[in-house]
A = this chain, B = another copy of it.
Amino acid sequence: MTATTTAPSGPTAPSPQRGSSLASTAEPRVDVAALAEQLLGRYATLRREARALTGRPEFQKIEGLPMAEHRERVLHQLRELAAHHDVLRAFPARLGGADDHGGSLARFEELVAGDPSLQIKAGVQWGLFASAILHLGTEHHHDTFLPAAMSVDMPGAFAMTETGHGSDVASIGTTAEYDRETQEFVIHTPFRAAWKDYLGNAALHGRAAVVFAQLVTAPEGKPRVNHGVHAFYVPIRDEDGAFLPGVGGEDDGFKGGLNGIDNGRLHFDHVRVPRTHLLNRYGDVAEDGTYTSPISSPGRRFFTMLGTLVQGRVSLDGAAVNASKIALAIAVRYANERRQFAGAGEDEVVLLDYQRHQRRLLPLLAETYASTFAHEELLAAFDEVFSGRNDTPETREDLETLAAALKSTSTWLAMRTVQECREACGGAGYLAENRLVGLHQDLDVYVTFEGDNTVLSQLVGKRLLGDFAKALKAGGAGDVARLVADKAVHRTLLVRAAQTIADVGDARRSAGQLRDEETQRELLTERVEVMVAELATALRPATKLPPAEAAALVNSHQHELIEAARAHAERVQWEAFTRGVHAATDPGTRQVLTWLRDLFGLTLVERHLAWYLVNGRLSAGRARTVSSYIDRLLVRLRPYAQDLVDGFGFAPEQLRAPIASGAEKERQDEARAYFRTERAAGRLAVPEKHVR
CB within 8 Å of B: which residues of A?
21, 63-64, 66-67, 161, 163-168, 171, 173, 177, 190-194, 197-198, 214, 216, 218, 223-228, 252-257, 259, 291, 298-299, 340-345, 348, 353-356, 359, 415, 419, 422-423, 426-427, 429-433, 436-438, 440-441, 444-445, 447-449, 452-454, 490-491, 493-494, 497-498, 501-502, 504, 547-548, 550-552, 555-559, 562, 606, 609-610, 613-616, 620-621, 623-624, 631, 666-668, 670-671, 674, 684-689, 691
Contacts and interface: CB of A to CB of B under 8 A. Distances in A.
B620 A340 contact: no
18 contacts: A64-B259, A173-B671, A173-B674, A191-B670, A223-B686, A223-B691, A224-B685, A225-B685, A225-B686, A225-B691, A354-B555, A427-B448, A430-B445, A498-B502, A556-B631, A609-B613, A610-B610, A614-B623
Nearest to A448: B426
Contacts of A620: 493-494, 497, 613-616
Nearest to A449: B427
B255 A431 contact: yes
Contacts of A430: 198, 255-257, 444-445, 448
Contacts of A216: 685
Nearest to A499: B498
A166 B671 contact: no
B344 A547 contact: yes
B498 A494 contact: no
B191 A687 contact: no
Closest 8 CB pairs of A and B: A256-B437, A64-B254, A609-B610, A226-B685, A344-B551, A254-B432, A344-B547, A344-B548
Contacts of A449: 427
B298 A688 contact: yes
Given A444-B422, A688-B226, A171 B432 contact: no
Contact of A668 (B193, B252, B438): B193
Given A228-B688, A610-B610, A614-B624, 19 more contacts: A64-B67, A161-B427, A163-B667, A177-B685, A191-B671, A224-B686, A225-B687, A225-B688, A226-B685, A254-B433, A257-B437, A298-B687, A298-B689, A299-B689, A344-B552, A423-B448, A430-B444, A490-B624, A501-B501
Contacts of A224: 685-686
Contacts of A671: 164, 173, 191-194
Contacts of A452: 426
Nearest to A547: B344
A12 B37 CA distance: 67
Given A415-B419, A494-B620, A504-B494, A255 B437 contact: yes
A505 to B, nearest CB: 11
Contacts of A257: 430, 437
Contacts of A667: 163-164, 191-193
A559 B631 contact: yes
Nearest to A687: B226
A140 to B, nearest CB: 24
A168 B494 contact: no
Nearest to A434: B256
A198 B659 CA distance: 14
Contacts of A356: 454, 558-559, 562
A110 to B, nearest CB: 24
Nearest to A663: B192
Given A225-B691, A353-B555, A441-B437, A550 B686 contact: no
Contacts of A436: 256
A548 B345 contact: yes
Nearest to A441: B441
A448 B431 CA distance: 12
A614 B614 contact: no
Contact of A504 (B253, B254, B491): B491
